[in-house]
Amino acid sequence: MELDKYYESIRNFKLEVPERFSFPLDVFDKWGDSKALIWTNGQEIKEFSFKDLTQLSSKLAGGFRKLGIKRGDRVLVILPNIHEWWVIILAIMRINAIAIPGTTLLTAKDIEYRLKAGEIKAVVTDLENSQKIEEAVNKHGKDVILINLDKKAGWESYDSLLNSEAFLGERTYSDDPAFIFFTSGTTGLPKMVLHTQVSYPLAHTITGKFWLDLKPGDVHWNISDTGWAKAAWSSFFGPWNMGATVFTYYRKGKFDPAMIVDTLKKYKLSTICAPPTAYRMIVKEIPAKDLKFSSVRHFVAAGEPLNPEIINIWKEATGDYIYNGYGQTETVNTLAMLRDFPMKAGATGVPTPGFEIDIVDDDGNPLPPETEGNIAIKINPSRPVGLFKEYIGDKLEMAAAFRGDWYYTRDRGYKDKEGYFWFVGREDDVIISAGYRIGPFEVESALIKHPAIKEAAVVASPDEVRGEVVKAFVVLTQDYEPSDALIKDIQDFVKKETAPYKYPRKIEFVDELPKTISGKIKRKELKLKEFGKL
């Protein structure tokens, strides 16, 4: 099969980057009376048009200016999925300050590090998270403007700032900074990923148009905490570049598959982006007959690849595929299964418009099909718009990522003969056992085909003879109990599903797997425990 003909519809797409740009002025405000945001907590529902959010965010922008927050100042925002978060981020962008989203899971120590490393001018939060911020600010020892959604002594009030004179904003240079995301680095401490006014705000047009397949009038739900870059991807820039409506559900507690299914039906949503964990749990816990969604026309998965087994089961139950998407905090959507392309269940996808991507060796030489190597993005002769600007103050990370003509994602994969990319694992997740290189994703995909297994995570475990062996942490479905006989049955099953050397020599049954708040499995945490480093 030739991929060329499938590129016809996207071949001529190109992002035009103006000299000066403002996402609020040039994109957001122009959608006017269309519906921008639907927020619910399961009982209460609040809806906002683009015009509503323009008015609120411009007043808040005026309030920020009154406090002395100005262009280039860094503002840390630590809030759960409440509608004010969207108002605050828009307001920060209107004054061309730099937004730094942070998850509510951050500890006082985490916040103190961000205050120092990020040279934070102001922090916005709610009453629930204010105590640890005060503790961090006191240890930091420098003045920080504190803004609270609730009334709290010594803090500026969000409501009072909304009474300020409106400031719609002004355009700034496209290469000026707009966002900083803290993300884990190879050197240990979180690194600061800097995005410009266009590398996320404008370039996520690619995410919204080609992967999410959004258009005006669509209602899109992205299951992600506001503290992660994924919220910027699919809860902010991706949908709003396309004039679609963002749907968000604020709920405390653990992930509930039944809640996801009920929400998709109750609120008549058009599209959904969820972590693979969500889809896996839904398939394992919800009867196929209940997976009928009259309004949902497009399902996508991100954070890590979704296994082909789940994609095929979903197709059989719902009539629709789930489309994998790939990117990083450092990028917009760069590889994706696109709706116009023939489906290959489990594939990461093909390069999105504006990106030249290949599998290369450590010296930057492209590798032949079916050969594992580094997933890399071409940066010469032209740098893609949707690539971050830099790791702030981290020469080591910059040197590791940018080598020759390529940006190395530090992810491993291969490209098949038809041009589809397949994900193997993070650079440091790949297991090297007796000289064999084993990617955890393939083993996990085999494991979850077993009827006893609800979830599985695969990591390296130390071994005196082989150096490392494959270990699987397994969550069982309700009909099975742990036993030595079940371990052997699982091992024999995997030997038939993959090359025999890839089977898990160690299996540990657990009640649950450690996950981020957005549902991504913390394999690094499991691996560190195996090697006694946690």
- In tens digits, the chain (534 residues) has pLDDT values of 467 777 776 778 889 999 999 999 999 999 999 999 999 999 999 999 999 999 999 999 999 999 999 999 999 999 999 999 999 999 999 999 999 999 998 889 889 999 999 999 999 999 999 999 999 999 998 999 999 999 999 999 999 999 999 999 999 999 999 999 998 644 457 899 999 999 999 999 999 999 999 999 999 999 988 998 999 999 999 999 999 999 999 988 777 889 999 999 999 899 999 988 889 889 988 999 999 999 999 999 998 788 898 999 999 999 999 999 999 999 999 999 998 889 999 999 999 999 999 999 999 999 999 999 999 999 999 999 999 999 999 999 999 999 999 999 999 999 999 999 999 888 878 788 876 778 888 899 899 999 999 999 999 999 877 888 999 999 999 889 999 999 999 999 999 988 888 999 999 999 999 987 666 788 888 998 998 876
Pure H helices in 28-98 = 50-66, 84-94
Pure H helices in 141-275 = 158-161, 204-206, 229-232, 238-241, 257-266
Pure H helices in 335-406 = 395-401
pLDDT at residue number 100: 98
Spatial separation of the C-alpha atoms in residues 240 and 353, rounded to whole Å = 19
419 membership: H or E segment, kind and range:
none
CA dihedral of residues 148, 151, 155, 157 (deg, nearest 10) = 60
Spatial separation of the C-alpha atoms in residues 43 and 406, rounded to whole Å = 49
Beta carbons of 192 and 117 less than 8 angstroms apart: yes
Beta carbons of 183 and 329 less than 8 angstroms apart: yes
pLDDT at residue number 436: 74
CA atoms within 13 A on the CB side of 21: 21
Residue corresponding to tokens 């696109």: 338
Strand 191-196 and strand 177-183: the pairing is antiparallel
Find, among 171, 189, 267, 278, the residue nearest to 230 by Cα: 278
Give the chain's length: 534
Number of H helices, E strands in the chain: 16, 29
Spatial separation of the C-alpha atoms in residues 206 and 242, rounded to whole Å = 10
| Residue 160 burial (CB count, 10 A) | 12
Which tokens hold the place of 93? 């962008």
pLDDT at residue number 187: 43
pTM for the predicted model, two decimal places: 0.87
CA atoms within 13 A on the CB side of 53: 36
| Residue 212 burial (CB count, 10 A) | 32
Spatial separation of the C-alpha atoms in residues 125 and 61, rounded to whole Å = 16
Query: Could you give the angle at which helices 108-118 and 127-140 cross, rounded to 10 degrees?
Result: 60
pLDDT at residue number 1: 47
Spatial separation of the C-alpha atoms in residues 294 and 132, rounded to whole Å = 44
Contacts of 233 by beta carbon, 8 Å cutoff, 6+ apart: 204, 207, 222, 224, 273, 302, 327, 332, 333
Residue corresponding to tokens 């069982």: 476
Contacts of 37 by beta carbon, 8 Å cutoff, 6+ apart: 46, 47, 48, 53, 83, 86, 245, 246, 247, 248
What end-to-end distance do the CA atoms of the chain give, in Å?
Answer: 48
